[in-house]
Amino acid sequence: MSRPIITLVPCLADNYCVLLHAPESGETVAIDAPSAEPIKSELGKHGWRLSGIFITHHHNDHTAGCQALKDHFACTITGPETEAERIPALGRGVSEGSALSFGGHSVEVIETPGHTLGHVSYHIPELKVAFTGDTLFALGCGRVFEGDPQMMFASMQKLAALPDDTAIYCGHEYTLSNARFALSIEPENAALVAHVKDVEAKRAAGVPTLPTTIALEKATNPFLRTASTAIRARLGLIGAPDWQVFARLRELKNKA
Ligand code: ZN
Ligand code: FE
């Protein structure tokens, strides 16, 4: 089986839709649907027909394109069942362990609540790729709107436990602003300093900073580095539980 083609579609101000196309089966799936027009136009460029949409959470900037895309392609919209009433045209509700597939590969649903209570991530182990919506961002994490910091921390840890070589696609291009915050928290992290140069070069060239990987995030993302002595010392939280270090980081980032 040949590898699916993965394409990022920038939508709205800083959202991404990710398109996955399996050449053999002809299936094309969108991860989130921020806006129908840019997705339709990208599909048109390749001559692909949308067969499905996997929604990570109910926020409008991830679902506003659902109805128009469904009307046009009659595609199946999949998303967290606990957010069913808030996701337009949802056809199939999923939860942890639901059986999904794409192009002959099984797709795991991982519940990652915190940003919203029903937020899910999608993991395709055979392709070594995961879609983390507004939970794990490159060099950051989503705001905790509906859950609490402990819940969000647990969700981030679930994602951190994926294999190191898993490619990560998230819902927004926030990497540069996340990078500035990360540097303010852990300026002595050489891997971070080097990585930020790469992020800056990509943004200066106008290209996406995604995908990232679990290994790179564990080495550079402060929200996954709550065990770091340097970070704990900077925050005055040497002996605190990891989730409290996480909560403080989230609080500081909210104010940054
Ligand atoms: Zn969101
Ligand atoms: Fe969002």
DSSP letters, 118-134, are: T-EEEEEGGGTEEE-TT
Alpha-helical regions (H) of 106-185: 149-160, 175-185
CA distances (Å), origin 165, targets 3, 18, 194, 202, 220: 16, 19, 19, 21, 15
Predicted TM-score of the model (pTM): 0.97
In this prediction, residue 2 has a pLDDT band, given cuts at 50, 70 and 90, of confident
Query: Is 134 one of the catalytic residues?
Result: yes
Distance 144 CA to ligand 2 centre (A): 12
Counting every residue, how long is the chain? 256
For the chain, list the domains and their CATH numbers. Answer: 5-224 (3.60.15.10)
* The one catalytic residue among 21, 32, 61, 119: 61
Query: Is 57 one of the catalytic residues?
Result: yes
Distance 230 CA to ligand 1 centre (A): 30
pLDDT over 70 at 1, yes or no? no
Give the tens place of pLDDT for each residue, 129-163.
Answer: 999 999 999 999 999 999 999 999 999 999 999 99
Distance 25 CA to ligand 1 centre (A): 31
Burial 72-91 (b: 16+ CB within 10 A, else e): ebebbbbbbbbbeebbbbbb
Distance 16 CA to ligand 2 centre (A): 9
The span from the CA of 243 to the CA of 101, in Å, is 33
Separation of CA 189 from chain center:
24
Mean pLDDT of 210-235: 98
